[in-house]
Amino acid sequence: MSFKPSLFEERRHRLIEQLPDRSIALLFAGRAPYMSGDHAYHPFHVNRNFYYLTGIPQENSALLLTKLAGETSETLLTERVDPVEEKWTGKRLTETEASSISGVTKAVDIAELESTIGDLLSGGQYETLYLDMEVDSWKQTETEAHRFAAVFQKKYPTIALRNPYALITRMRAIKDQAEIDAIRHAIGVTKNGLHHMLTHAKPGMKEYQLEAYFNFALRYEGVSEHAFPPIIAAGERATILHYVNNDGIAEDGDLVLCDLGAAHLGYSADISRTFPVNGTFSPRQRQLYNIVLKAMDAAFAIIRPGVTRADLLSAVRASYGRDLREIGLIENDDDISRYFYHGVSHRLGLDTHDVGPDHVPFQKGDIITVEPGLYIAEEGIGIRIEDDVLITDDGFVNLSDDIPKQADEIEAWMKMQPLM
Ligand SMILES: [Mn+2]
């Protein structure tokens, strides 16, 4: 599976339509940061907005769009192929290859970026440069776009600078069919990885050994992309939300929480499952596990366009309020936060916590996670169950519905044969 160039053409067209006349847009792919010696940080992921509009996965590239008197143009800037350099660092995309991926027909050597922009501006007809600075934040590390902006503003103080980040991320929030298919694929790979892990799990294993079974299944299928580093947390460590050390032992009687995902063509899966490492939930574990499942169903019961993330959280908390009081774990709803202390949903896409406007209700085409959890440190139990769902016209489709989730299904899954 790969993306068709028409997909990127259509996205660029939609972006350019939203830009005012007399404007230029420039998006950098970015470059891998220097690490040490003669090494940079690799693998390197290009800027996601750049990728969304071009499909080009290669660093040191840029996309240049112009709009003037109703006429638009597109130029892709890439590194000129250097046969000697390639003997060391591997193949670069040729102009023809880059063009057949992105659908941009005009190619320019990235070394000519300044002169290309200079030529455009020499006629005095452009008023605005849209430069993708990513999210505006004090904490943002300096990017190529920041460095370019500093030089550019000195040379062209009368040209306005604007950040197209909000425009592009609003587009990215609503997924098209190709993106839905990519995420479905990533979820399928993730399911196979989980199968491999669960069918090999035994008490006494290190968390990283469980992780290795997951990674093996991915790599065996040729998958090298993880959406994020897998979280494999047994016992009390599962109550630490972003635990990534994965170096503890999953003892007999422990529940193991895993939160992980493969990626496909840059698109993330984000799945959590919790299983008893010895293959059987204890009565107490099953009771708590079912309370989390019930909270998840409370969220599923209301998901459709117009509903907000806050609504999902309220539904989950209401469910916990009833059930945790019933088992005597809490006395009033304020105590829920002692055992459940995170949000219940985020967007999913090219970023695992995907971009888009905040505080807007779900719309058709959103892909979101649903992930209630329950963390009882004093009992050494952490549970999280997470599915990925697509918002439709009148409800949702659970994209990860075929990954076992009921306690009985999990136990049966663990008894199955490994796939490989
Ligand atoms: Mn998640």
DSSP category for residue 386: B
Q: How far is the CA of 64 from the centre of ligand 1 (A)?
A: 34
pLDDT at 239: 95
Q: How far is the CA of 370 from the centre of ligand 1 (A)?
A: 8
Q: How far is the CA of 162 from the centre of ligand 1 (A)?
A: 31
- The DSSP element (H or E) to which 388 belongs, if any, is strand 387-391
Q: How far is the CA of 345 from the centre of ligand 1 (A)?
A: 7
Residues contacting residue 166 through CB under 8 Å, at least 6 positions apart = 357
Containing structural domain, residue 119 = 5-172
Q: What is the pLDDT of residues 394-404, one digit of tens each?
A: 999 999 999 99
Q: How far is the CA of 369 from the centre of ligand 1 (A)?
A: 6
For residues 239 and 338, state if they share a domain: yes
For residues 181 and 150, state if they share a domain: no
For residues 153 and 214, state if they share a domain: no
Q: How far is the CA of 56 from the centre of ligand 1 (A)?
A: 26
What is the dihedral sign for C-alpha 307, 313, 314, 320? positive
DSSP category for residue 334: G
pLDDT at 80: 87
Instruction: Give the residue-averaged pLDDT of 293-298.
Output: 98
Give me the CATH number covering residue 347: 3.90.230.10
Q: How far is the CA of 193 from the centre of ligand 1 (A)?
A: 17
Q: How far is the CA of 76 from the centre of ligand 1 (A)?
A: 34
Q: Has residue 420 been placed in a domain?
A: no
DSSP category for residue 389: E
Bridge partners (DSSP) of residue 67 are: 23, 72
Q: Which tokens in the block code for residue 327? A: 């088992």
Q: Has residue 134 been placed in a domain?
A: yes
For residues 298 and 190, state if they share a domain: yes
Q: How far is the CA of 348 from the centre of ligand 1 (A)?
A: 8
Considering 110, 140, 172, which residue would you say is the last residue of a domain? 172
User: Given the structure tokens 């004090």, which residue do they identify?
Assistant: 138
Q: How far is the CA of 312 from the centre of ligand 1 (A)?
A: 14
Q: Which tokens in the block code for residue 17? A: 């339509």
Considering 148, 172, 196, which residue would you say is the last residue of a domain? 172
Q: How far is the CA of 31 from the centre of ligand 1 (A)?
A: 27
Q: How far is the CA of 10 from the centre of ligand 1 (A)?
A: 29
Give me the CATH number covering residue 58: 3.40.350.10
Q: How far is the CA of 340 from the centre of ligand 1 (A)?
A: 15
Q: How far is the CA of 20 from the centre of ligand 1 (A)?
A: 37
Are 348 and 367 in contact, with CB atoms under 8 Å apart? yes
Q: How far is the CA of 371 from the centre of ligand 1 (A)?
A: 7
Q: How far is the CA of 34 from the centre of ligand 1 (A)?
A: 30
**Strand 205-206 with 249-250, pairing:** antiparallel
Q: Has residue 356 been placed in a domain?
A: yes
Q: Which tokens in the block code for residue 35? A: 């690490």
The average confidence (pLDDT) of the chain is 95
Q: How far is the CA of 346 from the centre of ligand 1 (A)?
A: 7
For residues 159 and 186, state if they share a domain: no
Q: What is the pLDDT of residues 168-205, one digit of tens each?
A: 999 999 999 999 999 999 999 999 999 999 999 999 99
Q: How far is the CA of 100 from the centre of ligand 1 (A)?
A: 34
| Rounded Cα distance, 157 and 103, in Å | 33
Q: How far is the CA of 388 from the centre of ligand 1 (A)?
A: 9
For residues 279 and 359, state if they share a domain: yes
Q: How distant is the alpha carbon of residue 37 from its chain centre?
A: 31
Q: What is the pLDDT of residues 53-102, one digit of tens each?
A: 999 999 999 999 999 998 999 999 999 888 887 887 778 898 899 999 99
Q: How far is the CA of 104 from the centre of ligand 1 (A)?
A: 34
Are 290 and 282 in contact, with CB atoms under 8 Å apart? no
Which among 354, 5, 357 is positioned nearest to 183, based on CA atoms?
A: 354
For residues 408 and 355, state if they share a domain: yes
Q: Has residue 311 been placed in a domain?
A: yes
Q: Which tokens in the block code for residue 132? A: 């993708």
Which among 157, 168, 133 is positioned nearest to 51, based on CA atoms?
A: 168
Instruction: Give the residue-averaged pLDDT of 108-134.
Output: 96
High-pLDDT (> 90) share of the chain, %? 87
Separation of first and last alpha carbons in the chain: 23
Instruction: Give the residue-averaged pLDDT of 211-219.
Output: 97
Q: Has residue 234 been placed in a domain?
A: yes
Q: How far is the CA of 361 from the centre of ligand 1 (A)?
A: 18
Q: What string of DSSP letters covers 219-250?
A: HHTT---BSSPPEEEEGGGGGSTT-----SEE
For residues 168 and 179, state if they share a domain: no
For residues 321 and 333, state if they share a domain: yes
Q: Which tokens in the block code for residue 157? A: 């103080």
Q: Is the pLDDT of residue 113 over 90?
A: yes
Q: What is the pTM of this model?
A: 0.95
For residues 324 and 368, state if they share a domain: yes
Q: How far is the CA of 167 from the centre of ligand 1 (A)?
A: 24
Bridge partners (DSSP) of residue 368 are: 347, 389
Cα angle 221, 203, 293; round to 5: 75
Q: What string of DSSP letters covers 31-92?
A: -PPEEETTEE-SS-PPPHHHHHHH----SS-EEEEEEETTEEEEEEEEPPP-HHHHHHH---
For residues 64 and 182, state if they share a domain: no
Q: Which tokens in the block code for residue 49? A: 């907005």
Q: How far is the CA of 80 from the centre of ligand 1 (A)?
A: 39
Domain count, the chain: 2
Q: 330 to each of 8, 51, 375, how far by Cα in Å?
A: 52, 47, 13
pLDDT at 49: 98
Q: What is the dihedral of CA 146, 354, 360, 129, to 10 degrees?
A: 20
Q: How far is the CA of 270 from the centre of ligand 1 (A)?
A: 5
pLDDT at 203: 98
Q: How far is the CA of 352 from the centre of ligand 1 (A)?
A: 7
Are 134 and 143 in contact, with CB atoms under 8 Å apart? yes
For residues 127 and 178, state if they share a domain: no
Q: Has residue 97 been placed in a domain?
A: yes
Considering 134, 149, 172, which residue would you say is the last residue of a domain? 172
Q: How far is the CA of 410 from the centre of ligand 1 (A)?
A: 20
Q: How far is the CA of 239 from the centre of ligand 1 (A)?
A: 15
